[in-house]
């Protein structure tokens, strides 16, 4: 079993100052395959000092220099995609057939280049010179469900802005970040610009959040953890951007293509084994059409191929770990106890599995808006179908959770689409299964977070605004 005991700090691999280790388990067979060192506050201090030293020079680089660096990263990343794919399959159970986990990160770097090429860091406003400048040293805290894409989304924007960073990945998906660090090193990222420290939230995550020499923290994870990050960051008054939990609704209006809506909802809700904060885990269907839609949903759910993620035929692998498995099992039982009807799926592993953190893809019918399965984020392949009487009630149900990350809408009417879509309190609203793209800002309303990632809005999270008054004649 391999041990990853070094962190990447100031352009070198260095030993951790701590002694704690974490065992990384393959969720498909529940077998440990690696250990990592868990960092300490001293490790964070070393990484922050390196990033602080590197900031003056890197923040002064030109757009052309940063674009060239991002292009080199893409070239090196492309070479290592097969390595990353194998690691992500082993450490978090992402099926080999699902390529988005690995192709998506390159798209983030490409988008950063496209954004940077046209972005103006200075403008004149009523005779004032207004500049946007790199915010400084940034702490990036990323989750396990998108172990490569989320770090790369943050990193691409930070580098494009001219910031230096300390990355803390989830302890459940740190192995892939070793390869990412190797990619960045090979691409010639200057010493101290990128630093990697493994660790858990209570120690390393907290140290990053409260560190006085970190200017900005970008966090993706649960709402509960996001609150702790914000609390730790508050005494130093640093800016914090967060993408947190979600309970996204898919409103299917009566004039929609019901079969297409059901097919898309199963595919999107069960993608990544439902471990996605944007998953449409609530499907809102007109009360006269629920049984028809349920029939479509059941037929689509039957097509989901649960199995070994290393098998190319598998479309849904296991959940990431035992805790997540037990959490989802608990919620399925809660749904049953609350009186919801299991249309397909239910508790226990799928037939033929006695090991691995596999979940039966589950669709609940007869769900009411106040049930826990309709209000709380489950983070697994569990879909709640909720009937509504009219459009206004559908919007009210969609908005009646603490979350506001994603919203989805199916209708054949452009007028209804605009009317309903503008009423949905969510950071992103998709019409008729439209594909996501990296130029559109991503982030949430309410307890789904604050700040945005991707495109221009993602870049600006890493920039401060400076007004220079009386400089209208300065060169």
Active site residues: 243, 277
Tell me how far CA of residue 322 lies from CA of 27, 158, 359, in angstroms: 8, 34, 11
Measured at the CA of 8, the angle between CA 115 and CA 72, to 5 degrees, comes to: 35
In degrees rounded to 5, what are phi and psi of residue 165? -140, 155
Measured at the CA of 71, the angle between CA 70 and CA 72, to 5 degrees, comes to: 90
Q: What is the β-pairing status of strands 137-141 and 164-168?
A: parallel
Number of Cβ atoms within 10 Å of the Cβ of 443: 23
Cα–Cα distance for residue pair 232/204, rounded to 1 Å: 12
């Amino acid at each position: 079993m391999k041990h990853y005991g070094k962190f990447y700090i100031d352009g070198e691999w260095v030993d951790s100052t701590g002694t704690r280790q974490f065992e990384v388990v393959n969720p498909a067979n529940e077998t440990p395959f690696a250990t990592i060192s868990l960092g300490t506050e001293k490790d964070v201090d070393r990484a922050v000092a390196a990033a602080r030293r590197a900031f003056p020079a890197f923040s002064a680089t030109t757009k052309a220099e940063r674009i060239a660096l991002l292009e080199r990263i893409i070239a090196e990343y492309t070479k290592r995609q097969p390595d990353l794919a194998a690691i992500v399959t082993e450490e978090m159970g992402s099926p080999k057939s699902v390529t988005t986990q690995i192709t998506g990160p390159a798209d983030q770097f490409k988008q950063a280049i496209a954004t940077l090429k046209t972005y103006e860091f200075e403008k004149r406003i009523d005779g004032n010179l207004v500049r946007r400048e790199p915010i400084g040293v940034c702490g990036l805290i990323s989750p396990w469900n998108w172990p490569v894409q989320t770090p790369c989304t943050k990193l691409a924007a930070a580098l494009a802005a001219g910031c230096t960073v300390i990355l803390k990945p989830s302890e459940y998906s740190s192995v892939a970040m070793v390869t990412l660090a190797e990619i960045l090193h090979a691409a010639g990222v200057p010493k101290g610009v990128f630093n990697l420290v493994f660790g858990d939230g209570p120690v390393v995550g907290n140290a990053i959040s409260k560190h006085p020499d970190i200017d900005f923290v970008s966090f993706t994870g649960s709402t509960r953890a996001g609150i702790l990050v914000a609390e730790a960051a508050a005494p130093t008054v640093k800016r914090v951007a967060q993408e947190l939990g979600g309970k996204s609704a898919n409103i299917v209006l009566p004039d929609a293509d019901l079969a297409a809506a059901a097919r898309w909802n199963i595919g999107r809700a069960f993608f990544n084994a439902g471990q996605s904060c944007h998953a449409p885990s609530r499907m809102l269907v007109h009360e006269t059409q629920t049984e028809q839609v349920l029939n479509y949903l059941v037929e689509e759910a039957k097509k989901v191929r649960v199995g070994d993620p290393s098998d190319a035929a598998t479309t849904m692998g296991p959940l990431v770990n035992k805790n997540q498995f037990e959490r989802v099992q608990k919620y399925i039982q809660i749904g049953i106890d609350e009186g919801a009807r299991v249309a397909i799926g239910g508790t226990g592993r799928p037939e033929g599995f006695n090991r691995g953190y596999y979940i039966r893809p589950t669709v609940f019918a007869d769900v009411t808006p106040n049930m826990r399965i309709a209000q709380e984020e489950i983070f697994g392949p569990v879909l709640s179908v909720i009937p509504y009487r009219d459009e206004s009630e559908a919007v009210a149900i969609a908005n009646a959770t603490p979350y506001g990350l994603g919203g989805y809408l199916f209708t054949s009417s452009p007028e209804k689409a605009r009317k309903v879509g503008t009423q949905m309190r969510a950071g992103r609203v998709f019409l008729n299964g439209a594909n996501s793209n990296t130029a559109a800002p991503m982030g949430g309303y309410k307890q789904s977070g604050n700040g945005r990632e991707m495109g221009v809005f993602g870049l600006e999270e890493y920039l401060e605004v400076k007004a220079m008054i009386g400089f209208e004649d300065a060169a």
